[in-house]
């Protein structure tokens, strides 16, 4: 979970006197201080619940992806066993047809049809080996059938586990949506109390860090994120960024000045890059739609939060930081300072 300082974002709203000074509000609004304090406390509580729901969502994804991998492995083992069993069944079938067509050969038949004792001995030994081979094939068949039955039972267990984990993931999504609704309802009350739409920006506004590489929070609105960098993903991948969960359509802004380019992919859906002159860039994925492109300053809206690509069904921004244009590094601490 992120630090207490980060989560005090709502409880540390600027004092009402400063709000009034910035917005030119009447000093009479000082009478609402107690209500505003309650609102701030409520927001802090809801945000803490939201962060717990975010952690549950990430954990559910990890469990579900691991189960999907196990299911794929079990299906491959079953396919291999079925192919091996099919080949053994075919060999046994051919042996049964040959035995039915030629009939069983007795020792006397072998002796009378042999031109010498050596040939007789060789034929007898050959028939013995054929018979043993039939026995071995039958044993292999039984072993494979047992293994196949066990693998199918394991697959059934994994399928049931996958269904339960999918329910847990859906429950985590529902919890996240509910917490965001609570936040938005409380902020609406807060805005009504100070009678200014700009109060929203004071509550959820970014904290610029002009001296940092990441100068602005890439999500310009209520959000929740945990340090999920490096967590396992399907196909043997690992998570290369930080997921900032936010309501659908929340503005996504450039975390720093640079040149915006847009693209799309199966995993990232609608995605954007903001590149600096030295090669460093940030990457933004799962956008619902695009906004500005080309040269932008920090804080310029470049898109909106969505679920395009492989987003796990939850509205969020997948954010990556690539210093010098190289591999992604963990941007969690930098995001804490600006979000």
52: exposed, middle or buried (C-beta count within 10 Å: 0-12, 13-18, 19+)? middle
- Does residue 141 sit in the same domain as residue 288? no
Contact 190, 36 (CB under 8 A): yes
Domain containing 287: what range? 205-339
- Does residue 189 sit in the same domain as residue 267? no
- 143 domain residue, yes or no: yes
| 188 pLDDT more than 90 | no
- 13 domain residue, yes or no: no
- Does residue 187 sit in the same domain as residue 247? no
Output the domain CATH number for residue 263. Answer: 2.70.70.10
- Does residue 39 sit in the same domain as residue 108? yes
Tokens describing residue 56: 């549950």
- Does residue 180 sit in the same domain as residue 262? no
- Does residue 43 sit in the same domain as residue 175? yes
Cα separation, 313 vs 334, whole angstroms: 26
The last residue of one of the domains, among 135, 170, 204, is 204
In the predicted model, what is the mean pLDDT of residues 184-192? 69
Give the residue ranges of DSSP H helices in 8-116.
16-23, 33-102, 107-113
Contact 312, 273 (CB under 8 A): no
Structure-derived torsion over alpha carbons of residues 245, 249, 250, 256, reported in degrees to the nearest 10: 100
Q: C-alpha angle with apex 248: 339 to 214, nearest 5 degrees? A: 25
Q: How many domains does the chain have?
A: 2
- Does residue 190 sit in the same domain as residue 301? no
In the predicted model, what is the mean pLDDT of residues 281-305? 95
**Rg, Å, the chain Cα set:** 33
- 18 domain residue, yes or no: no
In the predicted model, what is the mean pLDDT of residues 180-192? 73
At 65, the pLDDT band (50, 70, 90 cuts) reads confident
Other CB atoms within 10 A of residue 56 CB:
17
Structure-derived torsion over alpha carbons of residues 13, 16, 18, 24, reported in degrees to the nearest 10: 130
**HSE on the CB side for 136, CA within 13 Å?**
6
Nearest one of 189, 222, 190, 185 to 204, comparing CA atoms: 222
The last residue of one of the domains, among 204, 221, 248, is 204
Average pLDDT of the chain is 76
User: Of the segments 66-80, 91-105, 135-149, which one has the largest average pLDDT value?
Assistant: 66-80
- Does residue 183 sit in the same domain as residue 53? yes
- 267 domain residue, yes or no: yes
- 231 domain residue, yes or no: yes
| 112 pLDDT more than 50 | no
- In this predicted structure, what is the pLDDT of residue 28? 38
Nearest one of 283, 285, 279, 262 to 323, comparing CA atoms: 279
In the predicted model, what is the mean pLDDT of residues 150-159? 86
- In this predicted structure, what is the pLDDT of residue 53? 83
- In this predicted structure, what is the pLDDT of residue 283? 97
Tell me what percent of the chain is helix, strand and coil, each rounded to the nearest 5: 55, 15, 30
Q: DSSP labels for 146-190?
A: HHHHHHHHHHHHHHHHHHHHHHHHHHHHHHHHHHHHHHHHHHHHH
Q: C-alpha angle with apex 269: 290 to 302, nearest 5 degrees? A: 20
- 328 domain residue, yes or no: yes
At 297, the pLDDT band (50, 70, 90 cuts) reads very high
Cα separation, 152 vs 146, whole angstroms: 10
**Sequence-distant contacts of 96-104: CB under 8 A, at least 24 apart:** none
- 46 domain residue, yes or no: yes
- In this predicted structure, what is the pLDDT of residue 67? 87
**HSE on the CB side for 287, CA within 13 Å?**
25
Output the domain CATH number for residue 37. Answer: 1.10.287
| 171 pLDDT more than 80 | yes
- The more confidently predicted of residues 256 and 208 is 256
At 48, the pLDDT band (50, 70, 90 cuts) reads confident
User: Of the segments 10-19, 36-45, 121-130, 257-266, which one has the largest average pLDDT value?
Assistant: 257-266
- Does residue 314 sit in the same domain as residue 257? yes
- 1 domain residue, yes or no: no
The last residue of one of the domains, among 204, 232, 249, is 204
């Amino acid at each position: 979970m992120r630090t207490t300082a980060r989560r005090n974002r709502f409880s540390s709203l600027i004092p009402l006197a400063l709000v009034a000074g910035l917005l030119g509000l009447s000093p009479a609004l000082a009478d609402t201080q107690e209500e505003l304090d309650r609102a701030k406390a409520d927001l802090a509580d809801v945000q803490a619940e939201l962060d717990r729901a975010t952690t549950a969502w990430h954990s559910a994804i990890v469990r579900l992806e691991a189960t999907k991998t196990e299911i794929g492995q079990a299906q491959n083992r079953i396919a291999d066993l079925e192919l091996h069993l099919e080949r053994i069944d075919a060999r046994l079938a051919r042996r049964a047809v040959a035995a039915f067509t030629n009939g069983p050969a007795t020792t006397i038949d072998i002796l009378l049809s042999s031109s010498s004792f050596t040939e007789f001995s060789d034929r007898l030994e050959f028939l013995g080996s054929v018979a043993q081979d039939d026995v071995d094939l039958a044993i292999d068949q039984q072993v494979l059938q047992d293994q196949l039955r066990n693998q199918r039972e394991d697959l059934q267990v994994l399928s049931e586990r996958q269904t339960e984990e999918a329910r847990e993931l859906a429950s985590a999504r529902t919890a996240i949506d509910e917490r965001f609704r609570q936040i938005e309802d409380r902020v609406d009350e807060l805005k009504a109390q100070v009678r200014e739409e700009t109060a929203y920006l004071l509550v959820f506004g970014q904290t610029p860090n002009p001296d940092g590489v990441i100068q602005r929070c890439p999500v310009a609105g209520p959000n929740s994120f945990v340090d999920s960098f490096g967590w396992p993903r399907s196909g043997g991948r690992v998570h290369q960024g930080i997921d900032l969960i936010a309501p659908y359509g929340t503005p996504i802004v450039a975390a720093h000045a640079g040149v915006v380019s847009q693209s799309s992919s199966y995993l990232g859906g609608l995605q954007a890059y903001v590149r600096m002159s030295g090669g460093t860039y940030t990457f933004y994925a799962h956008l619902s739609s695009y906004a500005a492109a080309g040269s932008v300053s920090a804080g310029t809206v470049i898109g909106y939060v969505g679920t395009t690509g492989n987003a796990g069904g939850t509205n969020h921004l997948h954010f990556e930081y690539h210093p010098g244009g190289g591999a992604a590094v963990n941007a969690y601490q930098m995001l804490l300072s600006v979000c």
